[in-house]
Amino acid sequence: MVIGNANYRSQRKLGNSVNDAEDMAKKLEDFGFEVILQTDSTYLEMNESLVEFGTLLEKNDVGMFFFAGHGLQVKGSNYLLGVDTEAANETQVKFTSLPLDAVVEEMESSEASTKIIALDACRNNPWKFSAGRDATARGLASVYAPEGTIIGFATSPGQTADDGSGRNGAYTEALLQHIGAEDYPVEMMFKRVRNTVAATTAGKQTTWEHTSLGGEFYFNLGINSIVDEYNESALADSLLELDSAKPSHEIIRGLKSYNWYVQNPALEKLDNVTVKKMGPNNLFVLGRNIYQAACGSSGEARGFIADFFKRTEEFPAKRRKALLDGMLFEIFFDPKGKLRPHIKAGYFNEVFDLQKHAIFKSSFEFIATTLQTARADYPTIPGSGHSLDVTVSSKKKKAGYLIDGVFIGGRNMLHIPEDDIDEIDGINPTSRTNCERLSDKLSEQLAVPLRLLNVTYAPAEIGEDDKLLIPRGWGILPN
């Protein structure tokens, strides 16, 4: 749940709180969170969203609450202020705001094992509702963190926070900078934030946390933490140092040459004898390079993938698995072990056709688990074996059927870049295609094998031979 309130009705407006919320929501969505975003909310809207948040917590293992805006304490209790909060006296504040205790209680009563609260409140020029108010009551009060909870404050108790001079407040800016640090536990991440805030505010602002976390939580797990079957130089194969004494490395060196006359004879050396001398990590990298060479049109590599079942039939089971694991991994991950923005689709369907063989079940479980843990953003996780229903909507034109939607789960996922609009006619240039070619592209864009992709058309009269028109530069929105 993410809230950013800036346009307060009876007090000085804040410059960055809405930006803070929007940027934090985007960042959390990138990490796979389902986000409830509220900006410039009334106190009733915040309380209503808390109920929705409670429902969401029941089906998730991790919950996070973020607030940017005005907050204050009244007799040791903290209140997060809506844009319409009345502040003439303490009673009004209590009944026209969102109590932080209510947020903590909602999270504590849930089944979520990890609860994170981050409060970029108590901005400079704090809310004042009574003349001569005790200066020690400024800022937010210390609060109890229930089991499995960490609560981060933009300031130490009794202090106020810097609203920032750029797009974000000082605290949120530091959070956004460090929240994606790879393999960093959340508690260590908050320590990084404290150091950065101290630096950017010249030591005037000290962040604060209360924690009772039992285990460790990471916003961004690196591939080495996700996969323990293979070592770092296999997962990020750009780190691999080739050793001429190893048969697998000699084949890998040949495949990396980008020269068919070197690649093809190199791969021909892979047989029942040589494979038994190779360890799982080297075979994994070899699998990656076979796929890479096939995408580069190496005939031997393409043939190896097309005939993988027979070509590897006599290989020991673990070595056969490592080769296929590497091929699958190469489709989705780059040489640094990072998720590719778009899959390497050249032989995607050929490799995934191997899922029909029960003997390869563990390899597809490996890639499905890896992608899920890495928070890959696909409509259905590749390797899970789940099918996907897609409906393509269109309008009939003289030149063919103009595609205007690709619907998945009731949502139009078709994206057309605005900069592709013709400046003179104000329309999107189109490309001609047909049902077969469109299905191929959808398979690649959605990372769903053709055999598991069910495409229907609206209107239903569209046939295999009909001409389809689709805007150039089209793509599929993130899931």
Q: How far apart are CA 226 and CA 172, in angstroms?
A: 28
Residue 161: predicted pLDDT: 73
What confidence category does residue 134 fall into, taking pLDDT thresholds of 50, 70 and 90?
very low
Residue 116: predicted pLDDT: 96
CB atoms within 10 A of CB 475: 15
Q: How far apart are CA 390 and CA 384, in angstroms?
A: 18
Task: Return the structure tokens found at 7.
Answer: 């346009």
What confidence category does residue 298 fall into, taking pLDDT thresholds of 50, 70 and 90?
very high
388 has a pLDDT exceeding 70: yes
Q: What is the mean pLDDT of residues 120-144?
A: 54
342 has a pLDDT exceeding 80: yes
Whether the Cβ atoms of residue 143 and residue 65 lie closer than 8 Å to each other: no
Residue 460: predicted pLDDT: 92
Q: What is the mean pLDDT of residues 60-83?
A: 90
Residue 164: predicted pLDDT: 67
Q: How far apart are CA 372 and CA 285, in angstroms?
A: 21
268 has a pLDDT exceeding 60: yes
Residue 9: predicted pLDDT: 87
Q: What is the mean pLDDT of the chain?
A: 89
What confidence category does residue 355 fall into, taking pLDDT thresholds of 50, 70 and 90?
very high
Q: How far apart are CA 442 and CA 465, in angstroms?
A: 18
Least confident of 103-107, 240-244, 415-419, 453-457: 415-419
Strands annotated E in 351-399:
388-397
> pLDDT tens-digit profile of 152-176?
999 887 677 766 678 999 999 999 9
Q: How far apart are CA 446 and CA 458, in angstroms?
A: 19
What confidence category does residue 137 fall into, taking pLDDT thresholds of 50, 70 and 90?
very low
Q: What is the pTM of this model?
A: 0.75
Least confident of 130-144, 214-228, 337-351: 130-144
123 has a pLDDT exceeding 60: no
Of all helices (H) and strands (E), which one includes residue 264?
helix 260-267
* pLDDT: which is higher, 160 or 308: 308
The angle that helices 43-57 and 100-108 make with each other, rounded to 10 degrees, is 10
131 has a pLDDT exceeding 50: no
Residue 421: predicted pLDDT: 52
Residue 127: predicted pLDDT: 47
Q: What is the mean pLDDT of residues 48-70?
A: 94
Q: What is the mean pLDDT of residues 244-255?
A: 91
Residue 224: predicted pLDDT: 84
* pLDDT: which is higher, 140 or 28: 28
85 has a pLDDT exceeding 90: no
Q: How far apart are CA 338 and CA 229, in angstroms?
A: 17
Residue 141: predicted pLDDT: 65
What confidence category does residue 138 fall into, taking pLDDT thresholds of 50, 70 and 90?
low
* Strand pairing category for 414-415 and 475-476: antiparallel
124 has a pLDDT exceeding 60: no
Percent of the chain with pLDDT over 90: 70
Task: Return the structure tokens found at 368.
Answer: 């499905």
User: Which residues lie below 8 Å from residue 375, measured CB to CB, with a gap of 6+?
Assistant: 31, 32
Give phi and psi for 95, each to the nearest 5. -100, 0
Q: What is the mean pLDDT of residues 222-226?
A: 86
**Which one-letter amino acid corresponds to residue 450?**
L
